[in-house]
Amino acid sequence: MAKLILLCLKFIILSSAVEAVFEDQVGKFDWRQEYVGKVRFSHFDTHVQSSKKVLLATENNVFAALNTRTGELFWRHVDKTGPEGNIDALLQHGQDVVLVVGNGRLLRSWEINVGGLNWEIVLDSGSFQSACLVGQQDNVKHVAVLKKTVISFHYLSNGHQKWIENLPESETVDYQSVYSDGNGEVYALGIVPHSHIAIVAYSVEDGEIIKQVTMIHTAWLSNIQASCVVISQGMLTCVDPLTVSLYMLDLHTESQMTQIPLQSLGLEVAPGFHPVLVSTQPNPGRQPLSEFFLQLGPDYYQLLQLNNGQIVTLRDFKPVRNNFSTLYEYLFSSLQASSLNLFSAETGRRLLDTTLIFNMDPYGGKPEKLHVQAFLKKDDSVGYRVMVQTEDHTLTFIQQPGRVMWTREEALSDVVTMEMVDLPLTGTQAELEGEFGKKADGLMSMVLKRLSSQLILLQAWIAHLWKLFYDARKPRSQVKNEVTIENLSRDEFNLQKMMVMVTASGKLFGIDSKTGSILWRHYLDNIPSNAAFKLMVQRTTAHFPHPPQCTLLIKDKDTGLATLHVFNPIFGKKSHVSPPALPQPILQSLMLPLMDQDYAKVLLLVDDQYKVSAFPSTKNVLQQLQEMASSIFFYLVDSTQGRLSGYRLRTDLSTELIWEVVIPAEVQKIVSVKGKRPNEHVHSQGRVMGDRSVLYKYLNPNLLAVVTESTDLHQERSFVGILLIDGVTGRIIHEAVQRKARGPVHVVHSENWVVYEYWSTKSRRNEFSVIELYEGMELYNSTVFSSLDRPHAPQVLQQSYIFPSYISTLEATLTEKGITSRHLLIGLPSGGILSLPKMFLDPRRPEIVSEQSREENLIPYAPELLIRTEWFINYNQTVSRVRGIYTAPSGLESTCLVVAYGLDIYQTRVYPSKQFDVLKDDYDYMLISSVLFALFFATMISKRLAEVKLLNRAWR
């Protein structure tokens, strides 16, 4: 017990030494952006006139309410990822929204004002087809859900099931759609493909089948939802592309199906186009409108009306780029790509003063969907706003006559990879830097240069003071320090950087790390849907006047074919450098530390013939490669066959196999292979022990950590393995197996340690394990490390700990010179990002405290690691579904820049060893100056007093 108390005390003492956020630092250098993902359903809340909500259900299984004035989130509910959280349908009635989730597994009702759940019920299994609200006149009380074999009917108020009925002949009939128009009946519409339509009408009251209709002679029909709509008083209208005619059937009277050839209406279908019908039902308790659209071509819509059983053409819309959006008795169309007009549905006439012009972003995608919010103005005319959804998942909310109210880049909800690039120097900074670069200029010119640069600095300082003075006179609201691409420049500690983010949709972003504002965006169309991305910085901003250069490798996972996109990371513009065409599938890419004459690092691409191509491939580069070839090694991983192989480059840019490690794929599979980060620095080569001797670290830059998981997932037999392999020689340095454990395994590999986390199936908890490698008390070769000449195997130390939470992702902090102690950044499912000091994961933590271990500041071993909320670097700014954490060094050794991305993006700075190299922001200038002044006056007074005293004594 006493030991436990001692331990607790130790923890308290230690934790006070660990950094945490102070309350007044909130928002000072951190920011968060919340996203929802690509919108699947959207619905404007119209039940209150003054409502500012738009409800969104997205492909990322998120249901959210946005403020239409600002574009910010009111609330957001993040469901499970994958098909189980998939939102199938969204139905709104009043202040309730009903969602069908997980292929019809769950029915949820949300209260939209508070954002709380009303009820949730589980539906019977079966694949979801369609759902609709059912009401009578304005009184909507029920929701009908149609599945493959059953139709069920639920109360809106509490979700209870009113009735459930099996669909007749559900083995043969494919029921696809459910319809109701408030007459006490619900229709399930189904077809037998290429044979007939089946319509079943149920009574709303008890689910009794009122009537059942089968229509033959509909062999042309294969999909109801694609080619049929219900219009007016229950007229089922279908379009047949073969006979080019409309078929109409009255659901209530079940008379014969009537055929209306489109030619008789004077209409023609564009060749090869499948015509589409669009109708609208403004109120689930009322009939749909009798006006409907027929799309006859990719950019050709026809407005039709059913008038006393006769179809009348009202107006044609041609050319129309985008979808129509219909709402009540008004119709909207976006004509000529950039302007939107309002038409009256009854007459097809264009309403005056309803034009809305929107300018498309040249770097964005094409508009995909329009979501229109209409409202009555004070003078009873109709006003409207529109939310445009483009291919690149951007939402733009536009008000008449074309003012963009807000833009949301929803592509950022799916960031795949990112890099941080230093901002360029300003002209004056570059001038100053230039002074140090050149040599042998003679004394006089050096002095002159020095003076001139000092003058430039003085000038800049005066200009800065003048600006301060000028701004101070203006009211505060007018002073704006907006960051634009023009005034971007590096700050004195290099804390502000450009975040280049690559999203799964193929849109690239350049974000200012200080404010989070998007400085440039670039949409790459024709990105394959299953693309893998790798972003590399080929040239940093340090080589003025050469522009910085980033290269994005886009690889189709199926075919292995890759393309390169070369761009300037500061401005986002595509580079003039034309990347090589890559006709062969690419296996591996590697950045070499070699540079060409323009200071661009060389990128090597290995294709499936094991041939290597270089980019850039100038003569200079090829010559350097030939000289260096014998010392360029790379490895390939084939996880399906469990094969790891190492290759060496030959002078003719072909390769030779050097080593091969085969891990039997039927027993275990390779999950991840992690090397060290190339920009990592290790400051100290060893650790000073309690007895003043030095334990040297095994710092092999070529070491790879290979994680394997067993294919047998039974909890008694599953295991997680970790292999440490030298990437040059293929020598297995260490092998460890964690029995009764399974993935997902998260690994961090840095310096001389590997930290990994797994799930222990035996104890049902997450465990961390740390492996540290040491050379011993003596270094074999202290000047240079060579994998080929290291005869001694390193000492391996390992220790494991319990971690009381699941983790989503794992990363380590990184600083400029590696002097600062390291922390592990752990993304938790709760959205917190925990900064755990690496010193807690130290295999040398002793079980019994000795004098020596105390000398070394080792914490006594405790099996459980603690999660303290003070260690959350993002306090209550949770990051949903955190998928990755990116760390980058800054110009200050104490400071590491951190970006966590998932559904949200969070940027902050961490100080793992506190801010030892700058004055803290709570430094008390008042205190120090008041003490100085007080001291000064005290000496003055005491001097005077002493004089008086001396004088008095002399007189005595």
Partner 1 sequence: MHLTALLWVCMQAALVVAWCFTDMETGPGAGVSTQPNGDRFKIEGRAIVPGIKTQDWVSTARILVEGEEYVGFVRTDGSFAVNDVPSGSYVVEVVTPNYRFEPVRVDITSKGKMRARLVNYIKTSEVIRQPYPLQIRASGPHTYFMKRETWGWTDFLMNPMVMMMVLPLLIIVLLPKVVNTNDPEMRKEMEQSMNMLNPNPELPDVSELMTKLFSGSKGSSKAGGSSKGTRPAVKRR
919 binds partner 1 (CB under 8 A): no
* Cβ 684 to partner 1 shortest distance, Å: 25
* Cβ 389 to partner 1 shortest distance, Å: 24
Q: Which helix (H) or strand (E) holds 932?
A: helix 925-955
Other C-beta atoms closer than 10 Å to the C-beta of 410 total 26
Q: Is 399 helix (H, G, I), strand (E, B) or coil?
A: strand
The residues in 370-429 that bind partner 1, with binding defined as CB under 8 A, are: none
* Cβ 914 to partner 1 shortest distance, Å: 11
Distance CA 833, CA 879 (A): 8
Window 838-857: contact mask with partner 1 (x via CB under 8 A): ---------x----------
761 binds partner 1 (CB under 8 A): yes
695 or 736: CB nearest partner 1:
736
Window 286-325: contact mask with partner 1 (x via CB under 8 A): ----------------------------------------
261 binds partner 1 (CB under 8 A): no
38 binds partner 1 (CB under 8 A): no
Distance CA 117, CA 10 (A): 44
What are the Cα distances from residue 757, in Å, to 516, 704, 766? 32, 17, 7
CB-based burial of residue 754 (10 Å sphere; 0-12 exposed, 13-18 middle, 19+ buried)? buried
659 or 768: CB nearest partner 1:
768
Which residue of 17, 122, 447, 451 would you call a contact of partner 1, by CB under 8 A?
A: 122
* Cβ 931 to partner 1 shortest distance, Å: 6
Spell out the residues 6+ positions from residue 660 whose beta carbon is closer than 8 angstroms to its own. Answer: 643, 644, 645, 646, 730
872 binds partner 1 (CB under 8 A): yes
Beta pairing class for 325-327 and 732-739: unpaired
* Cβ 694 to partner 1 shortest distance, Å: 24
Which residue of 10, 52, 77, 141 would you call a contact of partner 1, by CB under 8 A?
A: 77
* Cβ 77 to partner 1 shortest distance, Å: 6
From the CA atom positions of the chain, what is the Rg in Å? Answer: 35
Q: Which amino acid is at 773?
A: L
Window 712-741: contact mask with partner 1 (x via CB under 8 A): --xx--------------------------
Which residue of 78, 133, 423, 606 would you call a contact of partner 1, by CB under 8 A?
A: 78
829 binds partner 1 (CB under 8 A): yes
The residues in 5-34 that bind partner 1, with binding defined as CB under 8 A, are: 20-24
* Cβ 400 to partner 1 shortest distance, Å: 32
702 or 913: CB nearest partner 1:
913
- Angle among Cα 259, 264, 270 to the nearest 5 degrees reads 95
Stretch of residues binding partner 1 (CB under 8 A), selected from 343-351, 641-649, 672-680, 935-943: 935-943
Spell out the residues 6+ positions from residue 871 whose beta carbon is closer than 8 angstroms to its own. Answer: 15, 18, 20, 834, 835, 836
Which residue of 116, 193, 319, 664 would you call a contact of partner 1, by CB under 8 A?
A: 116
766 or 907: CB nearest partner 1:
766
Token pair for residue 859?
Answer: 């914490």
Which residue of 118, 373, 549, 913 would you call a contact of partner 1, by CB under 8 A?
A: 118
Distance CA 329, CA 376 (A): 13
Token pair for residue 921?
Answer: 């922001």
Q: Is 31 helix (H, G, I), strand (E, B) or coil?
A: strand
Give the largest Cα separation in the chain, rounded: 136
540 or 799: CB nearest partner 1:
799
The residues in 90-109 that bind partner 1, with binding defined as CB under 8 A, are: 102, 105-106, 108
Spell out the residues 6+ positions from residue 357 whose beta carbon is closer than 8 angstroms to its own. Answer: 338, 339, 340, 401, 402
Which residue of 767, 811, 842, 904 would you call a contact of partner 1, by CB under 8 A?
A: 767
951 binds partner 1 (CB under 8 A): no
Stretch of residues binding partner 1 (CB under 8 A), selected from 140-148, 248-256, 649-657, 920-928: 920-928
Phi-psi label, residue 423: left if phi above 0, alpha if psi -120 to 50, beta otherwise: beta
938 binds partner 1 (CB under 8 A): yes
* Cβ 81 to partner 1 shortest distance, Å: 8
764 binds partner 1 (CB under 8 A): yes
76 or 385: CB nearest partner 1:
76
Stretch of residues binding partner 1 (CB under 8 A), selected from 1-9, 444-452, 571-579, 944-952: 944-952
DSSP 40-66: EEEEE--SSTT--EEEEEETTSEEEEE
Which residue of 8, 9, 48, 114 would you call a contact of partner 1, by CB under 8 A?
A: 114
Which residue of 801, 886, 901, 911 would you call a contact of partner 1, by CB under 8 A?
A: 801
517 or 798: CB nearest partner 1:
798
Bridge partners, 706 (sequence order):
673, 723
Window 437-456: contact mask with partner 1 (x via CB under 8 A): --------------------
117 binds partner 1 (CB under 8 A): yes
778 binds partner 1 (CB under 8 A): no
* Cβ 698 to partner 1 shortest distance, Å: 19
Distance CA 739, CA 715 (A): 9
Stretch of residues binding partner 1 (CB under 8 A), selected from 486-494, 528-536, 676-684, 876-884: 876-884
Which residue of 50, 581, 863, 919 would you call a contact of partner 1, by CB under 8 A?
A: 863
Which residue of 72, 120, 206, 435 would you call a contact of partner 1, by CB under 8 A?
A: 120
* Cβ 711 to partner 1 shortest distance, Å: 15
* Cβ 922 to partner 1 shortest distance, Å: 6
Distance CA 65, CA 90 (A): 13
115 binds partner 1 (CB under 8 A): yes
Evaluate the omega torsion of the peptide bond into residue 401 and state whether it is cis, within 30 degrees of 0: yes
Other C-beta atoms closer than 10 Å to the C-beta of 493 total 13
Which residue of 35, 44, 119, 567 would you call a contact of partner 1, by CB under 8 A?
A: 119
Which residue of 875, 883, 891, 917 would you call a contact of partner 1, by CB under 8 A?
A: 875
Distance CA 805, CA 824 (A): 15
Cα 293 from chain centre: 38
Stretch of residues binding partner 1 (CB under 8 A), selected from 276-284, 348-356, 466-474, 937-945: 937-945
Q: Which helix (H) or strand (E) holds 671?
A: strand 668-674
* Cβ 737 to partner 1 shortest distance, Å: 10
b/e per residue 448-486 (b: at least 16 CB within 10 A): ebeeebeeeeeeeeeeeeeeeeeeeeeeeeeeeeeeeee
Other C-beta atoms closer than 10 Å to the C-beta of 409 total 22
Cα 295 from chain centre: 36
858 binds partner 1 (CB under 8 A): no
Q: Report which of 495, 605, 486, 595 is spatially closest to residue 539, judged by C-alpha positions.
A: 595
- Angle among Cα 354, 360, 363 to the nearest 5 degrees reads 170
Instruction: Please work out the total of residues on this chain that contact partner 1, with binding judged by CB under 8 A.
Output: 73
Spell out the residues 6+ positions from residue 532 whose beta carbon is closer than 8 angstroms to its own. Answer: 554, 555, 557
Distance CA 721, CA 668 (A): 9
85 binds partner 1 (CB under 8 A): yes
